[in-house]
């Protein structure tokens, strides 16, 4: 059974979202598109919340969000427990986000990458496993809600 990947964007990320969705399907993933469905102005939080909520609850292992800078989507998604949303503007950042931080939500800054770059960032993120080891200890600390270490 193919892994389900959630994907969503605001208006600024709509065009690239459509391209990345097709790439995900071509890569063999089961894609659930949570909107937006046009390039008309839309608020990023309206699309980040459903993706982050489902990843947080374990309904999906991973998600992809797109907006102009990636920042609004990441701010919103990272409010949820167990969500590690990483803005990646090149494949190296996507690789490190997975290897070192076990990023389970990729956030693409659609106004700052080309379609080809977006697909390469996505592919790198999908194909890179979490390294674990010393990084697992650090990721565990992300979940702490108190200041004790």
CATH, range 4-142:
3.40.1400.10
* Rg of the chain in Å (alpha carbons): 14
Residue 143: pLDDT band with limits 50, 70, 90: confident
135 flagged as catalytic: no
Q: Where are the alpha helices (DSSP H) in the chain?
A: 14-26, 45-56, 71-77, 91-101, 115-127, 134-142
The pLDDT assigned to 146 comes to 72
The single residue of 11, 82, 100, 135 carrying the catalytic annotation is 100
d(CA 39, CA 135): 38
Mean pLDDT within 74-86 = 97
pLDDT in tens, 110-132: 999 999 999 999 999 999 999 99
Which pTM does this prediction carry?
Answer: 0.96
The pLDDT assigned to 147 comes to 61
Mean pLDDT within 38-43 = 97
How far is the CA of 80 from the CAs of 9, 53, 54, 57, 120, in angstroms? 18, 7, 10, 9, 27
67 flagged as catalytic: yes
Residue 148: pLDDT band with limits 50, 70, 90: low
Say if residue 149's pLDDT is above 60: no
Say if residue 50's pLDDT is above 60: yes
Residue 95: pLDDT band with limits 50, 70, 90: very high
Q: For the chain, what are the domain ranges? A: 4-142
The single residue of 11, 49, 67, 82 carrying the catalytic annotation is 67
């Amino acid at each position: 059974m193919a892994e389900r990947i959630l994907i969503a964007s605001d208006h600024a990320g709509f065009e690239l979202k459509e391209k990345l969705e097709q790439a995900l399907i071509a890569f063999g993933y089961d894609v659930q598109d949570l909107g937006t469905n046009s390039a008309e102005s839309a608020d990023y939080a309206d699309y980040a919340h459903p993706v982050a909520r489902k990843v947080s609850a374990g309904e999906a292992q991973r998600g992809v969000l797109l907006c102009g800078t990636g920042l609004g989507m990441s701010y919103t998604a990272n409010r949820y427990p167990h969500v590690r949303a990483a803005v990646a503007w090149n494949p190296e950042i996507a690789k490190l986000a997975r290897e070192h931080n076990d990023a389970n939500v990729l956030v693409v800054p659609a106004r700052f990458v080309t379609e080809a770059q977006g697909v390469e960032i996505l592919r790198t993120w999908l194909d890179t496993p979490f390294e674990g080891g010393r990084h697992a200890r650090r990721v565990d600390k992300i979940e702490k809600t108190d200041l004790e270490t």
